[in-house]
Amino acid sequence: MPPFHAFVYFDFLSNLLPVVFAMAIRYAQRNFSLEIAQKEAQTQKLQADLTQLKYQLQPHFFFNALNNIYSLIAFDPKKAQESVHSLSKLMRHFMQNSDQKQISLAEEVDFLQQYISLMQLRLTDKTTVRIDFPKQLPHSP
């Protein structure tokens, strides 16, 4: 028969082993949860930064476009009217789609065409812009 202390050590180790495994599993779960929380916080921060940047760019873009249209009024009032209409469509797009994560390809192409037409105000006549989009675009986001 083995000595008594051998039984004590065996009992101690057999009871300690499940406790150690349980602690290791709990530690791993906690670390995993912390990593997920950190990733979510980082994603939210990036989303907030992007939203802030978007709100900063809109007024900048708007005032640049207004200045371009203002200078165009004296030289070509008809083109200035068209530009005001394009700017209003762009601003409507900004306001309607600012909280959406996805928009349809057709809406995005329309936005790009309006944006390009406004940017052409700043370009010289020597600069040409060629837009090549398919006539039929899908409407689903």
Give domain status of residue 130, yes or no: no
pLDDT in tens, 86-139: 888 888 877 777 677 777 777 788 888 888 877 777 776 777 778 787 777 666
- Indicate whether 89 belongs to any domain: yes
pTM over 0.75: no
Q: Is residue 113 part of a domain?
A: yes
* CA distances, 59 to each of 52, 54, 64, 94, 106 (Å): 12, 9, 8, 11, 25
Average pLDDT for residues 53-82, to the nearest whole number? Answer: 81
Domain membership flag for residue 34:
yes
pLDDT confidence of residue 4: 64
pLDDT grade for 23, boundaries at 50, 70 and 90:
very high
Asked whether residue 139 is domain-assigned, the answer is no
Number of domains in the chain: 1
Residue 132 belongs to a domain: no
Which one has a higher pLDDT value, 123 or 63?
Answer: 63
Range of the domain at 22: 4-119
- Specify if 136 maps to a domain: no
Confidence of residue 141 (pLDDT cuts 50, 70, 90): low
User: Can you spell out the DSSP letters for 42-66?
Assistant: HHHHHHHHHHHHHHHHHHHHHHHHH
Is residue 14 assigned to a domain?
Answer: yes
